[in-house]
Amino acid sequence: MMYKSLVCALLLSLCGCSMMEDAKRMLAGDEDNAIPPAELVEFMPSLNVAELWSRRIGKGNDKYYLRLSPVYAAQRLYIVDSRGRLQALDATNGREFWSRNAIQKQRFWSKGDKAKISAGPGYGEESLLVGTNDGEVFSYRSQDGKFLWRARVSSEILSAPKRAGGTVIVRSIDGKLHALNGENGRRLWVYDREVPSLSLRGTATPLIQDDKVIAGFDEGRLVALELKTGRLLWEARITTPRGSTDMEQMVDIDSDPIILEGVIYAATYQGQVAAVQLETGRILWTTDLSSYAGFAVDEDYLYISDQSSHIRAFDRFSGEQIWEQGRLNMRNVTAPARVGDYLVVGDVEGYLHWLDKRTGDFVARTRPADAPYIAPPLVVGNILYAFSSDGTLTASTFR
């Protein structure tokens, strides 16, 4: 039987703008042969979670499957909704510093709808970057929201653009990685990969580390490129496609890689999670696992949400599994976020589940929103910021 999360993700990939309500119906078991999400289990809370503030951010994802998420810099949160409302907020209380329309000029696509913000905001070198479903990138000054430049790339953008070293890196869904001049948006170079005939809807966010760009692609490969030129430095195959059908051979890297102490951690759908040496691309270890939601890493362990919404912990040095929490089965959870000694994942019904990172046991549960969480929460110190698909942005902490 096909996993519901796979069915949902495939529909989102093939339909492009499939609505979140359709995804929720499938996850709720309204379709034949669908596995219903696990019922919430009762437990004795051992952690007090307190909400600090909450506010609505425009229309959120506007029912589109997007990983829009806040970004933090210099005591501010920056957030954008799919209709282009870009805001700067005080991270301590949610008060607005400035707000503007991030889409400079309305463009129209095949169904007659206005262009949508589909990725962002990204932050770097005091500028904010957003991407649209028709392949445009907009840059703004973070201090006051002043428009800086716009540029067009080859196709839709689903992961936040990044800026470092005067260069903006943008990943488009047609397998291209674009480097733009951070001052004016002019194209510097393009790296191109062939896209499989079938893939999940989503792209991993590129990383910029010193003079390197690290990017994952749909055929299960991780590459390192020279930031200034786009020259290929190394390529690592995280997993090899298996099976005979296009569906069986999907091994996308859709979750964002993470770099810690000279090691890149990456995960694929229907494949493996791996540790890769940053300088050489040498694979240090792999273990079988399928994930598109993503993971978090600390000094000892890697914590990951697999395709069935099981949360697992692995030794980050060996890949040995430490524990597994399976009681959120098929609840379409986000990647875990680390806050203190705890992990937090959001789910399809707007719940935030708090787990002890040492054991995987539940310690608290809250429901700040009535809509799904798609992007993982953002953690700054001991404060957790969660942005739901309906635009509810909540700041919480624990005591």
Instruction: Report how far apart, in Å, the C-alpha atoms of 105 and of each of 80, 102, 115 are.
Output: 16, 9, 9
Cα separation of 345 and 61, whole Å?
Answer: 18
Cα separation of 54 and 69, whole Å?
Answer: 15
pTM score over 0.85: yes
Has residue 26 got a pLDDT over 60? Answer: no
106 within domain boundaries: yes
What's the pLDDT at 105? 61
Place 385 in a pLDDT band, splitting at 50, 70 and 90. Answer: very high
What's the pLDDT at 249? 67
What's the pLDDT at 250? 79
What's the pLDDT at 218? 86
- CATH code, domain carrying 90: 2.40.128.630
What's the pLDDT at 96? 98
Has residue 2 got a pLDDT over 60? Answer: no
Domain that holds residue 195: 68-201
- Give me the sheet containing 232-237, strands edge to edge: 207-209, 212-216, 221-226, 232-237
Residue with tokens 């080859």: 154
Place 114 in a pLDDT band, splitting at 50, 70 and 90. Answer: low
Mean pLDDT along residues 122-148: 98
152 within domain boundaries: yes
Instruction: Report how far apart, in Å, the C-alpha atoms of 14 and of each of 8, 38, 177 are.
Output: 10, 27, 21
Has residue 389 got a pLDDT over 70? Answer: yes
- 3-state helix, strand, coil split of the chain in percent (to 5) is 5, 45, 50
Has residue 11 got a pLDDT over 60? Answer: no
Domain count, the chain: 1
174 within domain boundaries: yes
Cα separation of 147 and 102, whole Å?
Answer: 8
Cα separation of 121 and 240, whole Å?
Answer: 33
pLDDT tens-digit series, residues 45-74: 999 999 999 999 999 998 899 999 999 999
What's the pLDDT at 240? 75
Mean pLDDT along residues 176-193: 98
pLDDT tens-digit series, residues 84-110: 999 999 999 999 999 999 987 644 444
173 within domain boundaries: yes
261 within domain boundaries: no
Contact 192, 209 (CB under 8 A): no
pLDDT tens-digit series, residues 318-360: 999 999 999 999 999 999 999 999 999 999 999 999 999 999 9
384 within domain boundaries: no
Nearest to 19 by CA among 242, 235, 167, 201: 201
Mean pLDDT along residues 266-282: 96
179 within domain boundaries: yes
Place 10 in a pLDDT band, splitting at 50, 70 and 90. Answer: very low
354 within domain boundaries: no
Nearest to 275 by CA among 318, 311, 312: 318
Q: What angle do CA 246, 305, 293 make, to 5 degrees?
A: 55
Nearest to 352 by CA among 322, 390, 312, 394: 394
Mean pLDDT value across the chain? 90
